Amino acid sequence: MTTTQPAPFGARLHALAAERGPFCVGIDPHAVLLRAWGYDDDVAGLEQFALRAVEAVAPYVSTVKPQSAFYERFGSRGVAVLERVIAAARAAGALVLLDVKRGDIGSTSQAYADAYLDPSSPLASDAVTLSPYLGFGSLTPFVESARTHGAGLFVLAATSNPEGPEVQSARTGAAFGGRGVAATVLAHLRALNGDAEPLGSFGAVVGATLGDRGGLAALGLEPADLAFNGPVLAPGYGEQGGTTADLRRLFGASDGHVIATSSRGVLRLGPDPVALRDAVLRANEELRG
């Protein structure tokens, strides 16, 4: 019996973003949003909110990004809802980027990779977000699992939160090249992606709210650091102030690899499915230029 090797995540993302657009919606059932939609902040409200949001937006975006914490806060019943969200989004043709920001070592890292990337897991997703701050090499089990299963990784590099530069602008020791932490992360991703066509599967998280290349310089980054042949997840787009013009200034000719993401900026328009759909279509059109 032969098995078909899955297509690499980068190739699948590149094709679907070209077809549907480069916008990603975060499916984040925040308590405030549940109440705004008329639901109680309980498991029943969580399920109704999340599945209704997926039904409204997943057919029109390349990627949906459930934030695991908003489901985990309800315990095992919340995780069961997350499983249904993943399945429903994939059934609608969207890629699922599970926002978990995991980062550990050895067998623990492998267990996380098995949970989120192995197709036999009920939480299996197309890609996950990761933290590299136990050393980039600690992500090796995720890298190997992603290659095996045709999945993708988005590694924190230059994030949109104001606390990020405390770590991300720091310099590594001489033994590690003396470069900034963010630049080092991007260099590792460049090595992993190599000459993959049309796009590598190992991506970075770079905040849309950095604003311009001066914002990159504050993190010790140069424009060339962003040319790592992989996708960029750009949080902070829309409601948090990041604009399409910001993305153009930050990424220039590489902006075709950029997946801009927003959660509350879209979900606050619910529960009207037409309003949610139209917001997604507008964002995709704007990002396409």
Strand partners, 259: 233
The question of whether 101 is a catalytic residue gets the answer: yes
The answer for residues whose C-beta is within 8 angstroms of residue 21's C-beta and 6 or more apart is 60, 61, 62, 283, 284, 285, 287, 288
| Separation in Å, CA 163 to CA 46, 121, 263 | 30, 34, 20
Q: What is the DSSP string of 186-251?
A: HHHHHHHHTT-SS--SEEEEE-GGG-SHHHHHTTT--GGGG-SSS-EEETTBSTTSB-HHHHHHHH
Cβ neighbours, 10 Å, residue 250 = 27
Given the residues 52, 90, 101, 171, the one annotated as active site: 101
Which positions are annotated as active-site residues? 101
